[in-house]
Chain A
Amino acid sequence: MQLFRAHVLVCGGTGCVSSGSKKIQEAITDELVKQKLDKEVKVVETGCHGFCEMGPIVIVYPEGTFYCRVQVEDVSELVSEHLVKGRTVQRLLFKAPVTEEQVPSYRDIAFYAKQQRVALRNCGHIDPEHIQEYIARDGYEGLAKALTSMTPEQVVEEMKKSGLRGRGGGGFPTGLKWGFAAKSPGPKKYIICNADEGDPGAFMDRSVLEGDPHSVLEGMLIGAYAIGADEGYIYVRAEYPLAIKRLRVAIAQAEELGLLGDNIMGTGFSCRLNIKEGAGAFVCGEETALMASIEGSRGMPNPRPPFPAVKGLWAKPSNINNVETYANVPVIFLHGAEKFASVGTENSKGTKVFALTGKLRNTGLAEVPMGISLREIIFDIGGGIMDDKKFKAVQIGGPSGGCIPEQHLDTPVDYDSLIALGAMMGSGGLVVMDETSCMVDVARFFLNFTQKESCGKCTPCREGTKRMLEILQKICDGNGVPEDITTLERLGGVVKNTALCGLGQTAPNPILATLRYFRHEYEAHINDKKCPAGVCSALLEYKIVADNCKGCGACARVCPVGAITGEKKEPHEIDTSKCIKCGSCIEKCKFDAIVKG
């Protein structure tokens, strides 16, 4: 085996690929050849590091030096300085927000320091297209343990003991679910992986599939053994081409090594896994719709019971879990359920991956132990609010979730506490909003999404989301009336209580939660015809503060409708009847002379 003195890890996740990591990788490889280092230094394409905003990311081992936003022009310096002379390239290091301090090591960056990576344990550390790298990190050992030393019943028991709950949104105890499917009689059963990640801004499942596909395969195989399935499907959205490619590579490699397919590891246990590409319907993340879609039908949910464990895919008992759930499973069998359960809270064990987005300094993927406070996630890992603005709310759980205000930031993050706050864990989307976010507008954004993605089957969701969206639009347009709030509450309550599937039942959450915590913003829109955050353009008026205006004319030149007039070096004025509230003038003004409100 060839030994290398250093490894250069180049992130090959979708985020870094988009910011040009493929070119960086090629440039590094070329440069190493040029400097005759290619026998000493190995370039490895890894999965996502989660800190996509800082991409393309390059990490040099053994030091673990973390270089970010690397450009092709930086490559020759990086190789000469770091790999030849052993000197860190200071300017490419990550700079901590606020302190501006350079942080050379991966482990010391605040974004990573508070994380505890279980599902993402291998992401960014291994080459996902080489099964040997996964095996070298104890991959497939959990499966071996389960297949050779445990009965299926013991596997289910171990899962129950681990306390793992579904990471896809519902939070149903995984061991219990496996137990139901295991108890269902029948020679043919299916194991299904839900990789139809669709929440706006969420990309944890994509990162796991791209960065560590074998962890999902291994988890599925352990599940298949537990319930008695000999075939499985991974339902992954077609918009994830890299994830699909890496899954195909992983399946082929696992089959070649006898870790997948017939007679796995010589134990007599067989299981084949297939990939089904979804066509982009959000509702196909709902398990009954997902199975309908695999069967070739229109992706529409069906009433439960019967539950998939009794009558699932092709009417056979099936078990369906999410990507992140399966990725956790091998760890449970590798280190034992007790070790896994030692992390987290009483009723929410282990860790959870969140996709941090919004007005944060650090955005990206973060895996944290359950029970951590929202404040720690937002202010420690996320680095706080961008541009020193004031925190307003965090939307958690995607379009099914709710907004949580400042006063609840110290709530521990676990399934039950979040539901008590009117939000939900969901798949782990976490959108942070500052004082410039209008909560009515946020609710409208999510309702627009759910309305478009409603499958149209049940009346409350199909018609109800449409009318809720229309009312929100009306309020944002300044045409709201006081009764609108009661209508929203009534309609939201009925939709929640009567819709067929999870999509409809949770669709009113963004409205109900904002009404609960930010009612005053609705009232300001309706009664005072004001948008306190200055977002809803129909309720805004642009004004020039004469004292600040230097009469430079920049605003008048940029105004697309000629609404701004004034003499040179004299305060200008805005003709509000002409103004289309595009905001270009504010962006252009260097003197803070233009205000909206």
Chain B
Amino acid sequence: MADTVTLTINGQKVTVPAGTMVLEAAQQAGIDIPTFCHDPELSRPGACRICVVEIKGWRNLPPSCVTAVTDGMEVETESDAVVEARRTILELLLANHPEDCMTCQKFGDCRLADYAYRYGIRNTAFIGDKTDFPVDESSAVLYRDMNKCVLCGKCVRVCAEVVGRNVYDFTSRGFSTKVAPALDVGLGEIDESGCVSCGSCVAVCPVGAIVEKNMIGKARPWEVKKVKTTCPYCGCGCGFDLNVKAGKVIGVTSNPDSEVNGRHLCVKGRFGFDFIHSPDRLTSPLIKKDGDFVEVSWEEALRYTTSRLKEIKAQHGGDAMAVLSSARCTNEENYLMNKVARVAFGTNNIDHCARL
């Protein structure tokens, strides 16, 4: 088999490695094909069918996400038949979707809305039943409204293939199909659901079916300034975007460009940011004077601490002191702390919270 394959997409010649799928070949040529269920990090179910294309000589409209390129293949990504199929599929999805975009947390960042806009779907020809699943609010951090779900299955796959928790799967059949934890328990019933609240499902959901509870009603996507930062909780160094509105952090979202973790975070990184604006948070050094904590300058605080440590060492020796270092610090910071203990204090009494 040749290492590369040359095909034509919308009349444009494209050369890609053999084994590439039509969807990716098109992306490389700068041609965008819509998709709900495809995700480069996950397995390929070929489920949503919105990415169908027309290939000369083929009987049906194959899904570009699971159709491998072949030499001389002639692909049309926006032919009349393709557009009709996409419009019909979008109409079908919209026919079973709540019309509450105005208050949807995903408003402005929703693929279903984007594609409806792109293909000009003002309304659907299919008026009938709509699913009426109860909303799952049991989780402390996630809000799941399965009535908005397009059943792309990305949450199922990210939980199984990346997180390894296998919390979700499809349940029921036909029109009643929905994604749910085992026995359809609430996500918040963590003993049964097995959910660790990492929120990877939020990061992949293309619509408003799973959203961060703490961000509901706080801001529209365009009002938010995304500030890339590194998680302070442990030494992994996960990157993510702080979502800042009017100088206030209202939430955390994945930043796919994060070198260490990609889109994946743990519950602390994604949801444990409420300390930032907590009134109990210490914002300056305090020294107890006459039984009360008094705010002091950093200079005074450090001077005071150094002199007390020196006194203790002089009176009782280095082993009178002990150091407990933190997993929130980087390797380098922990190394320095170790130097402080052994060289400056003169003690081997140093330990680390991750050993507990």
Q: Which residues of A contact B (CB under 8 A)?
A: 281, 283, 298, 300, 302-303, 305, 451-460, 462-467, 470, 487, 490-491, 494, 496-500, 505
Complex contact A464–B92 (CB within 8 A):
yes
Identify the stretch in B124-132, B248-256, B304-312, B319-327 within 8 Å (CB) of chain A at 4 or more residues.
B124-132
Do residues A457 and B151 form an inter-chain contact, with CB atoms below 8 A?
A: yes
> Given known contacts A303-B63, A458-B48, A505-B60, is B174 in contact with A487 (CB within 8 Å)?
no
Q: Are A458 and B174 in contact (CB under 8 A)?
A: no
Which of B23-31, B39-47, B71-79, B220-228 interfaces with chain A?
A: B39-47
**Chain B 73-95 interface mask (CB, 8 Å, partner A; 1/0):** 00000000100110011001101
Asked if B170 contacts A494 (CB within 8 A), the reply is no
Which residues of B (156-182) have their CB < 8 Å from a CB of A? 169-170, 172-177
CB-defined contacts of B81 to chain A, threshold 8 Å = 497
B129 touches A490 (CB 8 A): no
Contact B46 A500 (CB under 8 A): yes
Q: Is the CB of A458 within 8 A of B49?
A: yes
> Do B45 and A303 touch (CB < 8 A)?
yes
Contact partner, A456, options B66, B84, B93, B170, Cβ 8 Å? B170
Which of A456, A465, A497 contacts B60 (CB under 8 A)?
Answer: A497
User: Are the CB atoms of B60 and A460 closer together than 8 Å?
Assistant: no
Of residues 95 through 143 on chain B, the ones whose CB sits less than 8 Å from some CB of chain A are 95-96, 125-126, 128-129
Q: How far is the CA of A419 from the CA of B302 in the complex (A)?
A: 87
A305: nearest chain-B partner, CB-CB: B68
B126: chain A residues at CB < 8 Å are: 463, 467, 470, 487, 491
Select A459's contact among B44, B50, B129, beta carbons within 8 Å.
B50
**Inter-subunit contact A459/B175 (CB<8 Å):** no
The contact of A455 among B61, B93, B125, B173, by CB within 8 Å, is B173
Can you spell out 27 A-B residue pairs with CB atoms less than 8 angstroms apart?
A283-B173, A298-B169, A300-B170, A303-B45, A303-B66, A452-B173, A454-B177, A459-B89, A459-B151, A460-B49, A460-B89, A463-B89, A463-B96, A466-B96, A466-B129, A466-B174, A467-B95, A467-B128, A470-B126, A487-B126, A490-B84, A490-B88, A491-B126, A497-B60, A498-B63, A498-B85, A500-B63
Q: Judging by beta carbons under 8 Å apart, are B60 and A462 in contact?
A: no
CB distance from A301 to the nearest CB of B (A): 9
Pick from B84, B150, B175: contact of A451, CB below 8 A: B175
Q: What are the residues of chain A within 8 A of B50 when measuring CB–CB?
A: 459
6 closest Cβ contacts across the A-B interface?
Answer: A456-B177, A303-B46, A463-B92, A470-B128, A467-B126, A494-B88
B-side interface mostly: loop
Contact A462 B177 (CB under 8 A): yes
Question: Which residues of B are in contact with A by a Cβ distance under 8 Å?
Answer: 44-50, 52, 60-61, 63, 66, 68, 81, 84-85, 88-89, 92-93, 95-96, 125-126, 128-129, 150-151, 153, 169-170, 172-177
Decide: A498 and B169 in contact? CB cutoff 8 A.
no
| Given A455-B177, A460-B92: 13 more A-B contacts, CB < 8 Å | A300-B170, A303-B44, A451-B174, A455-B170, A455-B173, A458-B47, A460-B49, A466-B128, A466-B174, A466-B175, A470-B126, A470-B129, A497-B52
Query: Nearest residue in A to B177 (C-beta to C-beta)?
Result: A456
Name the A residues within 8 Å of B125 (CB-CB): 487
A494 and B151 within 8 A (CB): no
Residue of A nearest to B54 (CB): A497
Task: Decide if A459 touches B52 in the complex (CB within 8 Å).
Answer: no
Q: List chain A residues, Cβ under 8 A from B95.
A: 463, 467
Interface centre among A459, A470, A490, by most chain B C-beta atoms within 10 angstroms, is A459
Whether the Cβ atoms of A497 and B61 lie closer than 8 Å is yes
Report the nearest A residue to B150, measured CB to CB.
A459
Docked pose: A300 CA to B176 CA in angstroms: 15
Contact of A453 among B63, B88, B93, B173 (CB under 8 A): B173
Task: Tell me, rounded to whole Å, the shortest Cβ–Cβ distance linking A70 to chain B.
Answer: 42
- Contact in complex: B49, A500 (CB < 8 Å): yes
Closest chain-A Cβ to B270's Cβ sits at a distance in Å of: 28
Measured CB to CB, the closest approach of chain A to B266, in angstroms, equals 27
The answer to whether A494 and B128 have CB atoms under 8 Å apart is no
Q: How many angstroms from the CA of A283 to the CA of B173 in the assembled complex?
A: 10
Q: A463-B92, A463-B96 are in contact. Are A498 and B177 (CB under 8 A)?
A: no
Minimum distance in angstroms from B181 CB to a CB of chain A: 14
In angstroms, Cα B45 to Cα A71, docked, is 55
Given A303-B63, A470-B128, A499–B49 Cβ distance below 8 Å? Answer: yes
Distance in angstroms between the alpha carbons of A490 and B125 in the assembled complex? 11
Interface contact A459-B48, CB-CB below 8 Å: yes
- How far in angstroms is the closest Cβ of chain A from B57? 15
Least distance between B306 CB and chain A CB atoms (Å)? 63
The reply to whether A459 and B85 form a contact with Cβ atoms under 8 Å apart is no
Whether A498 contacts B92 in the complex (CB less than 8 A), given A455-B173, A457-B47, comes out as: no
B52 to A: closest C-beta gap in Å: 5
Q: How far is the CA of A457 from the CA of B151 in the complex (A)?
A: 7
CA distance A23 to B60 in the complex (A): 54
Pairwise interchain contact A465-B46, C-beta atoms closer than 8 A: no
Query: Knowing A467-B92, A505-B60 touch, does A498 contact B174 (C-beta < 8 A)?
Result: no
In the complex, how many angstroms separate the beta carbon of A204 from the nearest chain B beta carbon?
25
Q: Is the CB of A494 within 8 A of B85?
A: yes
Query: Closest residue of chain A to B174, judged by CB?
Result: A454
B46 near A456 with CB under 8 A, answer no
**Cβ-defined contact, A494 with B84, below 8 A:** yes
Asked if A456 meets B151 with Cβ closer than 8 Å, knowing A298-B170, A463-B175, A498-B60, the reply is: yes
Given A303-B66, A453-B174, A470-B129, decide whether A491 and B88 contact each other with a Cβ distance below 8 A: yes
Shortest CB-to-CB span from A464 to chain B, Å, is: 6
How far is it, in angstroms, between the C-alpha of A183 and the C-alpha of B151 when the chains are bound?
37
Question: Do B93 and A302 touch across chains, with their CB atoms under 8 A apart?
Answer: no
Q: Taking each of A298, A465, A494, A499, which has the highest tally of chain B beta carbons within 10 Å of its own beta carbon? A: A494
Q: Once bound together, how far apart are the Cα atoms of A465 and B169, in whole Å?
A: 22
Contacts of A453 in B (CB 8 A): 173-174
Chain B residues whose CB sits within 8 angstroms of the CB of A281 once the complex forms: 173
Given contact pairs A467-B92, A467-B95, A497-B81, A462 touches B174 in the complex (Cβ within 8 A): yes
A457-B60 contact, Cβ under 8 Å, with A463-B96, A470-B128, A494-B88: no
Residues of chain B with a CB closer than 8 A to A498's CB: 49, 52, 60-61, 63, 85, 89
Residues of B contacting A470 with CB < 8 Å?
126, 128-129
Complexed CA–CA distance, A281 and B170 (Å): 14
Q: Which residues of A contact B176 (CB under 8 A)?
A: 456
Query: Considering only CB atoms, which chain B residue lies closest to A470 in the complex?
Result: B128
Query: Which A residues are CB-close (under 8 A) to B92?
Result: 459-460, 463-464, 467
Are B175 and A462 touching (Cβ within 8 A)?
Answer: yes
- Residues from chain B with Cβ under 8 Å of A459 in the complex: 47-50, 89, 92-93, 150-151
